[in-house]
A and B are shown apart, each in its own frame.
Chain A
Amino acid sequence: MSSLSLAVRDSNTMLRRNLLHARRYPSLTLNLLLTPIMMLLLFVYVFGDVMSAGIEDGGADRSAYIAYLVPGILLLTIGGTTIGSAVSVSTDMNEGIIARFRTMAIHRGSVLIGHVIGSVLQCVMSVVLVGAVAVAIGFRSTDATAVEWILALGLLTLVSLAFTWIAVGMGLSSPNAEAASNNALPLVVLPFISSAFVPVDAMPGWFRPIAEYQPFTPAIETLRGLLLGTEIGHNGWLAVAWCLVLAVLGCFWSQSLFSRDPR
Chain B
Amino acid sequence: MPSSVMPTSKRSDGHLPPAAVSTVGLRKSYGDKLVLDGIDLRIPAGSVFALLGPNGAGKTTAVKILSTLITADGGQAQVAGHDIASSPDGVRAAIGVTGQFSAVDGLITGEENMLLMADLHHLSKREGRRVAAELLERFDLAEAAKKPASSYSGGMKRRLDLAMTLVGNPRIIFLDEPTTGLDPRSRHNMWQIIRELVSDGVTVFLTTQYLEEADELADRIAVLNDGRIAAEGSADDLKRLIPGGHVRLRFTDPSAYRSAAVALSEVTRDDEALSLSIPSDGSQRELRSILDRLDSAGIEADELTVHTPDLDDVFFALTGGTRTDGTSGTDDPNQPSRPGRSKETAR
Would B69 and A103 count as touching, CB distance under 8 A? yes
Name the A residues within 8 Å of B97 (CB-CB).
99-100, 103
Chain A interface size range: 20 to 34
Name the B residues within 8 Å of A95 (CB-CB).
105-106
Name the A residues within 8 Å of B99 (CB-CB).
96, 99-100
- Bound-state CA distance A16–B125 (Å) is 14
Name the A residues within 8 Å of B168 (CB-CB).
104
Name the B residues within 8 Å of A261 (CB-CB).
69-71
A-B contact pairs, 29 of them (CB 8 A): A1-B122, A9-B122, A13-B119, A13-B120, A17-B105, A20-B107, A21-B107, A24-B107, A95-B105, A95-B106, A96-B99, A97-B103, A97-B104, A97-B105, A99-B97, A100-B99, A100-B103, A100-B164, A102-B68, A103-B68, A103-B69, A103-B95, A103-B97, A104-B168, A105-B89, A105-B93, A106-B120, A261-B69, A262-B69
- Bound-state CA distance A160–B90 (Å) is 36
- Bound-state CA distance A106–B95 (Å) is 13
Would A103 and B67 count as touching, CB distance under 8 A? yes
Chain A interfacial positions (CB closer than 8 Å to B)? 1, 9-10, 13, 16-17, 20-21, 24-25, 95-97, 99-106, 261-262
- Bound-state CA distance A97–B107 (Å) is 11
Known A103-B67, A261-B71, A262-B70; contact A96-B107, beta-carbon cutoff 8 A: no
Name the B residues within 8 Å of A102 (CB-CB).
68-69
3 smallest beta-carbon distances between A and B, as pairs: A96-B103, A100-B103, A105-B93
Interface presence of B102 (CB below 8 A): yes
Name the A residues within 8 Å of B112 (CB-CB).
20
Closest B residue to A102 using CB positions: B69
Cβ < 8 Å to A, chain B residues 73-123? 89, 92-93, 95, 97, 99, 101-108, 112, 116, 119-122
Q: Interface SS of chain A: helix, strand, loop or mixed? A: helix
Q: How far is the CB of B174 from chain A (nearest CB, A)?
A: 8
Chain B interface size range: 20 to 34
- Bound-state CA distance A17–B120 (Å) is 11
Name the A residues within 8 Å of B89 (CB-CB).
105
Name the A residues within 8 Å of B95 (CB-CB).
103
Name the B residues within 8 Å of A1 (CB-CB).
122
Name the A residues within 8 Å of B68 (CB-CB).
102-103
Closest A residue to B113 using CB positions: A97
Known A24-B107, A96-B101, A262-B70; contact A104-B122, beta-carbon cutoff 8 A: no
Closest B residue to A96 using CB positions: B103
Q: How far is the CB of A256 from chain B (nearest CB, A)?
A: 15
Chain B interfacial positions (CB closer than 8 Å to A)? 67-71, 89, 92-93, 95, 97, 99, 101-108, 112, 116, 119-122, 148, 164, 168
- Bound-state CA distance A104–B102 (Å) is 16
Q: How far is the CB of A141 from chain B (nearest CB, A)?
A: 39
Would A99 and B107 count as touching, CB distance under 8 A? no
Known A103-B67, A105-B93; contact A20-B122, beta-carbon cutoff 8 A: no
Name the A residues within 8 Å of B104 (CB-CB).
96-97
Quick one: which of A9, A21, A96, A262 has the most chain B CB within 10 A? A96
Name the A residues within 8 Å of B106 (CB-CB).
95
Known A96-B101, A97-B103; contact A104-B69, beta-carbon cutoff 8 A: no
Closest B residue to A22 using CB positions: B107
- Bound-state CA distance A123–B17 (Å) is 56
Q: How far is the CB of A108 from chain B (nearest CB, A)?
A: 9
Name the B residues within 8 Å of A96 (CB-CB).
99, 101-104
Name the A residues within 8 Å of B105 (CB-CB).
17, 95, 97
Q: How far is the CB of B308 from chain A (nearest CB, A)?
A: 36
- Bound-state CA distance A105–B168 (Å) is 10
- Bound-state CA distance A100–B105 (Å) is 10
Q: How far is the CB of B69 from chain A (nearest CB, A)?
A: 5
Name the A residues within 8 Å of B120 (CB-CB).
10, 13, 101, 104, 106
Known A20-B112, A24-B107, A97-B105; contact A104-B92, beta-carbon cutoff 8 A: yes
Name the B residues within 8 Å of A101 (CB-CB).
120
Name the B residues within 8 Å of A17 (CB-CB).
105, 108, 116
Closest A residue to B65 using CB positions: A261
Q: How far is the CB of B50 from chain A (nearest CB, A)?
A: 20
- Bound-state CA distance A17–B71 (Å) is 28
- Bound-state CA distance A254–B92 (Å) is 22
Quick one: which of A1, A9, A99 has the most chain B CB within 10 A? A99
Closest B residue to A100 using CB positions: B103
Would A24 and B108 count as touching, CB distance under 8 A? yes
- Bound-state CA distance A262–B93 (Å) is 20
Quick one: which of A13, A21, A100 has the most chain B CB within 10 A? A100
Name the A residues within 8 Å of B69 (CB-CB).
99, 102-103, 261-262
Given A103-B92, A103-B97, 8 other A-B residues pairs in contact with their CB atoms under 8 A: A1-B122, A13-B116, A24-B108, A97-B104, A103-B68, A104-B120, A104-B121, A105-B92
Name the A residues within 8 Å of B67 (CB-CB).
103
Closest B residue to A20 using CB positions: B108
Q: How far is the CB of A85 from chain B (nearest CB, A)?
A: 16
Closest B residue to A97 using CB positions: B105
